[in-house]
Amino acid sequence: MKKKINKCDFSYFCAVAAPHASRSRFRTLCDWGNWVFPYDDSELHHLPTTAVNLTTPSVFDNGHLRDRPEESQLVMESLMMPMLGGASKKDLNIKDRLRIVKFHDTVVKRMAMKAPTGVQRRFALAMQGYCRGALVQIDNQFSGKRPTLEEIAMIRRESAGCRPLYHLVEYAHCLRVPDEVFDHPVIQELENIGMDMVAISNDILSYRKEQAEGVPHNMVAACRLSGLSAQKAFDKVGKLLENRYQRWDRAEASVPSWGEEADVQVQRYIEGIKCVVRANLNWSFKSERYLGSNPDVVRATRKLHILADSPTTDVPPKALFNRTFLLEISFLLGICFYLRVILPWQLFFG
């Protein structure tokens, strides 16, 4: 597990997302990032004896919890109870909680010591949305439902785990944004667009990995399951991303004023959203998580090997490994366009 976490190099992600964080707050952000991947996508630690059998290694994305919604619900509830303040000692038996869930408690405690109550509340609600999105994915897997591209986009907005990062960066940068700012439709639009950008680009860049693992809740996979060829599927998802660029420009241009002092904090928060999107994109090309050992080649050539067969629910992914073909990932031109809008061009190519 340690090797897998080190290979993810989420500290690089955090350095881009919160470049002005103090050492201690940066550590908290890194700890959350190194927690979320094992929790969402890798082996979970074992539970002792419980009413439900959760004693085997558990995974949400590609393991045995992916189609066990009731057990997944228990794990999610045990995660959220301390943050929502709804757990008594009787309700929440510490012995019945996963070790990885208990570790998240340490992140929450560190935030509680230093962050304003508004930041803590926003982080808790963001984590609740993340859990809700993950459970919808698991329920769809269990029921065999195939959501439309638009439905998956809405689910991935939360399940990608982007919203909690906004408030971790808010915490890491010691921002003092007035609470009422977060109720404004324009700020909510910017938050949603940022989450969509992360989720859409993530589904594009992670498709090869998730296709091999048989993960169905991917936007490219949804397009292929609807009958589109691989190239057309990538192009269609790329157009979704382009739509978000246009929406971002309109929303950012219409951010209102809350007064000179508050506006400085609001702009720093909006910059934090951009930093999270920047971090995800650049980390995806640096980490070996999605693109293997040669991500620079993919970035330079915009070509990607994927499985020739579209994903199905009845063909084991490993049976398809001997059939791959080269895909032209023209969607990356769209990502470069986004870099023109928000990011330094050289950060992508340098």
Q: Mind listing the pLDDT tens digit for each residue in 100-119?
A: 888 999 999 999 999 999 99
Count other Cβ atoms within 10 Å, centred on residue 6: 11
What whole-number distance in Å separates Cα of residue 270 and Cα of residue 187?
A: 8
**Under CATH, what is the fold of the domain 2-349?**
Farnesyl Diphosphate Synthase (1.10.600)
Angle (deg, nearest 10), helices 185-205 and 230-253: 160
Tell me the torsion sign for CA atoms 16, 20, 26, 32: negative
- Token code pair at residue 202: 């993530």
Is the Cβ–Cβ distance between 273 and 190 less than 8 Å? yes
* pLDDT(298) > 80: yes
pTM: 0.80
Quick: pLDDT tens for 317-348.
433 333 344 454 544 444 443 333 333 322 33
> 3-class SS at 324?
strand
The structural domains of the chain, with segments of one domain joined by +, span 2-349
The residue ranking higher by pLDDT, 244 or 294, is 244
pLDDT of residue 95: 54
Q: Does residue 271 surpass a pLDDT of 90?
A: yes
At 21-70, the pLDDT tens digits run: 999 999 999 999 999 877 775 433 333 323 333 222 334 444 445 556 67
Contact 321, 307 (CB under 8 A): yes
- pLDDT class for 124, splitting at 50, 70, 90? very high
Query: Can you give the pLDDT at residue 1?
Result: 66
pLDDT at 171 over 60: yes
Which tops the pLDDT comparison, 10 or 84? Answer: 10
Residue 227 has pLDDT above 80, yes or no: yes
Of residues 75 and 174, which shows the higher confidence score? Answer: 174
pLDDT of the residue at 198 = 95
d(CA 31, CA 195): 21
Average pLDDT, the chain: 78
Q: Which residues contact 10 (CB under 8 A, 6 or more apart)?
A: 30, 33, 34, 37, 283
State the pLDDT at residue 268: 98
**What are the backbone dihedrals phi and psi of residue 115, each rounded to the nearest 5 degrees, phi first?**
-95, 145
